Amino acid sequence: MIFSRRHLLTGLAGWGALSLGSGLSISSVASSSSALPGYKSLVVLHLNGGNDGNDLLVPTDGAFTDYRRSRESIALGQDSLLAFARTHLDHRLSLNRAASGLMPLFERERVAFLVNAGPLIQPSTASDVLNGRVRVPPFLYSHPEQSHYVQGWMGDEDPSGWAGRAMEALNKPMKAPLVCVDQGAPTLVLGQRSRMVSMNSRNSRWFGKADLTRPSDPWTQAVASLTRNQSQITAENEYARTFRASFSDSQELAMADQAMPEPQGSFADNEIGRRLRTIAKFLPYYKSAGASRQIFSLEWGQFDTHANQRYTSDSATIGQDAQLAELTAAIVAFNDAITAAGMGNEVVLLVISEFGRTLDPASGRGSDHAWGNHWIAVGGPVRGGQMYGARFPRLILGGTDDVDPGRRGYWVPQISTDQVAADLLTWLGVPLVSLDTVMPNLRNFTQKTVGFVNA
């Protein structure tokens, strides 16, 4: 088979197995050295659009009246709520039944809720913000900026995320420490001097037309020959070096995908099911291949529910409840898979979103952008069966917890993104003295961690 340059470039045009990054100071998937004991992995799932935490956890004691009065057109009824067995944060709380699959995991202490979490520069109250006594995160209530900010974005001069900086702070030789799934939520795993592995949940075998599981394939050999190119021009040489490492990573992922057994969890054939299934399949491989610490990043969902949040007659959109049901099924399958693989105490799944939603409904029977939100942590290392936070927000428009001058119900987070990350990074082995460098705003907090992960 004879290849022209045009044929080769055309064949590569559709490849999506690995993204290219800059630098190779942290080892790629091809490295097998490990200087950290054991194996630990963090999986961070970002829910796109701002999941409405006000309809995830709902008080069903006297505060339920405030909840129904404040968002009458979209409030959940008592029959749509599943009560927790005991009180939390001085309330009788219930879970949206669409997420009822989380309840058994909560009772087995494998799930915890981080109540009213989100981005902060310094400890803040609604009064502090309304009276201008504190600095607030830039571009509040904006999807793209807040999505980046909760992942550790430091501004245009430094687009890296807290996971990328943390792995660099460990300063250890590691195998594939930073992995992004389906190009989603990449800010989290961007480092300042390293690159990430970008995994494709749909197809890891093909690199354009090259079958990576067949080294003798003409297309595979043609691409491999390109990775050996050298140049006296620094930029070209760096590109060739990165391309070579990316191709090597892609080839190993394809071989591993072919060799590893399917995970045992019952994953649905939908986007979130496929993505968590892919991670569940590769976790045992990475552990057996010598990885020691890994952070996976992925995103999913259409939670920008300005309209039809509860029910939808528009087939082009999906309401919150249907999405929560898909999410919960995928989380349960993921937990089952890693437990069956003997890794139930080595993996934590953190579910976040860029912001919460207004307590006050939007005109289209939905909700608008707000601030604080409820996050979910899953896994054996999690101190589960608990709600973390000092108290539950008062669900009163214009009340003492409402930071919106228009009285629409915006909660100032009581747990900062950086405090949540500090728990997880400490568990992964990042030294306490490095946390303020990884997350500069953390130095403004006397309490550095939340305490939801076992040391």
What is residue 227's predicted lDDT score, i.e. its pLDDT? 76
- Cα distance between residue 424 and residue 414, in whole Å: 18
State the average pLDDT for the chain: 89
**DSSP 8-state class, residue 5:** H
List phi, psi (to 5°) of 217: -60, 135
Region class of 189: left (phi > 0), else alpha (psi between -120 and 50), else beta: alpha
- pLDDT, average across residues 249-262: 89
- Number of other residues whose CB lies within 10 A of the CB of residue 68: 15
- pLDDT, average across residues 2-21: 40
What is residue 1's predicted lDDT score, i.e. its pLDDT? 40
Residue 28 has pLDDT above 70, yes or no: no
Residue 220 has pLDDT above 90, yes or no: no
- Cα distance between residue 299 and residue 17, in whole Å: 17
> Does residue 14 or residue 434 have the better pLDDT?
434
The model's pLDDT over 346-371, given as tens digits with 9 standing for 90+, comes to: 999 999 999 999 999 999 899 999 99
Residue 452 included in any domain: no
| 31 CB-near residues (< 8 Å, 6+ apart) | 173, 174, 175, 176, 290
What is residue 209's predicted lDDT score, i.e. its pLDDT? 86
Residue 83 included in any domain: yes
Identify whether the C-beta of residue 185 lies closer than 8 Å to the C-beta of residue 147.
yes
Residue 449 included in any domain: no
Beta-bridged to residue 111, according to DSSP, are 378
Residue 153 included in any domain: yes
- Cα distance between residue 329 and residue 268, in whole Å: 8
What is residue 316's predicted lDDT score, i.e. its pLDDT? 54
Domain CATH code at residue 131:
3.40.720
Residue 450 included in any domain: no
Residue 11 has pLDDT above 70, yes or no: no
Least confident of 192-196, 419-423, 437-441: 192-196
Least confident of 29-38, 40-49, 328-337, 413-422: 29-38
Residue 382 has pLDDT above 90, yes or no: yes
Residue 207 has pLDDT above 50, yes or no: yes
**What confidence tier does 35 reach under pLDDT thresholds 50, 70, 90?**
low
DSSP element (H, E) containing 59: strand 57-59
What are the DSSP E strand ranges found in 98-215?
Answer: 111-118, 178-181, 197-199, 206-207, 210-211
Residue 454 included in any domain: no
What is residue 317's predicted lDDT score, i.e. its pLDDT? 63
Residue 134 included in any domain: yes
| 318 CB-near residues (< 8 Å, 6+ apart) | 302, 312
Least confident of 59-68, 302-311, 384-393, 419-428: 302-311
Residue 23 included in any domain: yes
Largest CA distance in the chain: 76
Nearest in space to 150 (alpha carbons), one of 101, 117, 199, 192: 117
User: Residue 107: which domain range?
Assistant: 5-444
* pTM as predicted: 0.91
Q: How many domains does the chain have?
A: 1
Place of tokens 């898909």: 326
Residue 5 has pLDDT above 70, yes or no: no
The model's pLDDT over 48-106, given as tens digits with 9 standing for 90+, comes to: 999 999 999 999 999 999 999 999 999 999 999 999 999 999 999 999 999 999 999 99
- Our CA angle for 210, 188, 416, nearest 5°, is 160
**What confidence tier does 208 reach under pLDDT thresholds 50, 70, 90?**
confident
**What confidence tier does 247 reach under pLDDT thresholds 50, 70, 90?**
confident
List phi, psi (to 5°) of 360: -70, 130
- Cα distance between residue 323 and residue 300, in whole Å: 10
